[in-house]
Amino acid sequence: KDKVTIHTMKRQKQGGQKICMVTAYDATFARILDEAGADMLLVGDSLGMVIQGHDSTLPVTMDQMVYHTAMVARGTKRALVVADLPFMSYQVSTQEAVRNAGRLVAEGNAGAVKLEGGAEFADVVSAIVRASIPVMGHLGLTPQSVHKMGGYVVQGRDEDAALKMIDDALALERAGCFALVLEGVPLDLGRQITQRLSIPTIGIGAGKHCDGQVLVCYDLLGMNPDFKPKFVKRFANLHGSISQAAETYFSEVRAGNFPDEEHSFKSKQPLRLMATQ
């Protein structure tokens, strides 16, 4: 299996082959998802919510992103590893943005980085691309702008907002993005942007017309029974499997049935009782 690169992405769009992306935050999940056939693994700053337990992605730091990216890269053989630039790592200055993107590649072993925002970040995108670091854009419901958006709400529902998003998408393509995440946008806007761009769109809550799809792995696996937004489909119920396994383990321990002989070690010869002084 050849390693996936940014060039694979473009061929997949041209050939009409859907691109499969999923988040991963550690080596064990990366190995499973890579072997299952992911084209891209996203080390998302969603880890602030699903790993760290925050209620937004805003507290995630560069050091934490580098740490998780390195773990995911170690577990990945085929997929392209894309790492999120976290809040405040690329907004202050273009210099800081390039340096931080460089850390995700040099220290974290990412093959590309992702950042949120439209035309206002075109300069930042081109500066990172100039440093030979592939950049993925991210438009629509951009969680780092939760306070500006006034919550996690679908974007681009009215004509003006839709037109602005199309302009932003074209600006990101011109700036050199190799792909674009569309999050929380109406189905028909997802289709329009996908048709207008030559780079692939990767949707999450953006409908079936996108060139690919991405989901947070813990969401598609059904790890959190209290989180069920409209765009998430649960392909498994790991919350149920994990709690059932843990309950069985605890009840066997309490009943004295675990560990049994099969899971215990034997001495080489019978131990003689030793007298203690």
**Binding-site residue set for Mg(2+):** 45, 84, 116
**Cβ proximity of 118 and 183 under 8 Å:** no
Count each helix (H run) and each strand (E run) in the chain, helices first: 11, 8
Q: Which two tokens stand for residue 213?
A: 């799809």
Map residues 1-40 to x or -, x wherever contact with Na ion holds by CB under 5 A: ----------------------------------------
Whether 183 sits among the annotated catalytic residues: the reply is yes
Residue closer to ligand KIV (CB basis): 62 or 216: 216
- List the binding residues: 45-46, 84, 114, 116
Task: Check binding of 183 to Na ion (CB under 5 A).
Answer: no
Q: Of 2-10, 28-36, 41-49, 253-261, which part binds Na ion (CB under 5 A)?
A: 41-49
- List the binding residues for 3-methyl-2-oxobutanoate: 45-46, 84, 114
**Cβ proximity of 197 and 182 under 8 Å:** no
To the nearest whole angstrom, how small is the minimum distance from the Cβ of residue 146 to Na ion? 12
- Burial of residue 148, with CB atoms counted within 10 A of its CB: 0-12 exposed, 13-18 middle, 19 or more buried: exposed
Quick one: what does residue 204 bind among Na ion, ligand KIV, none, with the CB cut-off 5 to 8 Å set by partner type?
ligand KIV
Task: Check binding of 84 to Na ion (CB under 5 A).
Answer: yes
Task: Check binding of 219 to Na ion (CB under 5 A).
Answer: no
Contact positions vs ligand KIV (CB under 6 A): 23, 42, 44-46, 84, 181, 183, 204, 214, 216
Distance CA 61, CA 104 (A): 12
Quick one: what does residue 73 bind among ligand KIV, Na ion, none, with the CB cut-off 5 to 8 Å set by partner type?
none
Residue closer to ligand KIV (CB basis): 227 or 258: 227
Residue carrying the six token digits 């700036």: 175
Question: Which candidate, 91, 193, 182, places its Cα nearest to that of 138?
Answer: 182
The residue with its CB nearest to ligand KIV is 44
Distance CA 31, CA 47 (A): 17
Which residue of the set 35, 96, 173, 183 is catalytic? 183
Which SS3 state, helix, strand or coil, does residue 130 take? helix
- Burial of residue 85, with CB atoms counted within 10 A of its CB: 0-12 exposed, 13-18 middle, 19 or more buried: buried
To the nearest whole angstrom, how small is the minimum distance from the Cβ of residue 206 to ligand KIV? 10
Residue 71 CB contacts under 8 Å (≥ 6 apart), including other chains: 25, 26, 27, 30
Active site residue ranges: 183
Which residues here bind Na ion, judged by CB under 5 A?
44-45, 84
